[in-house]
């Protein structure tokens, strides 16, 4: 398994964050070759990060970006029939 040094990573908050200064946000780091590190902003700076392959992240963003939060929730948590 490859080890990544995230000590100099440039983290940014999700564009879907609440916009206030609360800590309830997802952050991603840019510029790490081959992966996209994702973390919970409540656990910085030493909290864990989930490393998602760059191709998988691109597929996820392509799927999620056009969805509103309401329709995305319906896809993730469908109404039982």
φ, ψ for residue 35, nearest 5 deg: -140, 160
Distance of alpha carbon 52 from alpha carbon 56, whole angstroms:
7
Looking at per-residue confidence, does 79 or 67 come out higher? Answer: 67
Q: Is residue 41 part of a domain?
A: yes
Over residues 20-56, the pLDDT tens digits come to 555 568 888 888 889 999 988 887 777 789 999 999 9
Residue 18: pLDDT band with limits 50, 70, 90: low
Domain coverage including residue 46:
10-64
> Given this model, what pLDDT does residue 16 score?
61
Q: Is residue 30 part of a domain?
A: yes
Q: Is residue 76 part of a domain?
A: no
Residue 81: pLDDT band with limits 50, 70, 90: very low
Structural domain total, the chain: 1
Q: What letter does residue 34 receive in the DSSP assignment?
A: T
φ, ψ for residue 29, nearest 5 deg: -110, 140
> Given this model, what pLDDT does residue 21 score?
59
Distance of CA 6 to the CA centre of its chain: 15
| Whole-prediction pTM | 0.67
């Amino acid at each position: 398994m490859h080890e990544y040094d995230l000590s100099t990573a440039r983290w940014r908050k999700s564009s879907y964050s609440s916009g206030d200064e609360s800590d309830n946000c997802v952050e991603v780091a840019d510029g790490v070759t081959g992966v996209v590190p994702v973390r919970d902003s409540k656990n910085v700076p030493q909290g864990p990060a989930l490393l998602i392959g760059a191709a998988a992240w691109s597929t996820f963003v392509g799927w999620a970006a056009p969805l509103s939060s309401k329709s995305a929730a319906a896809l993730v948590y469908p109404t039982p029939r």
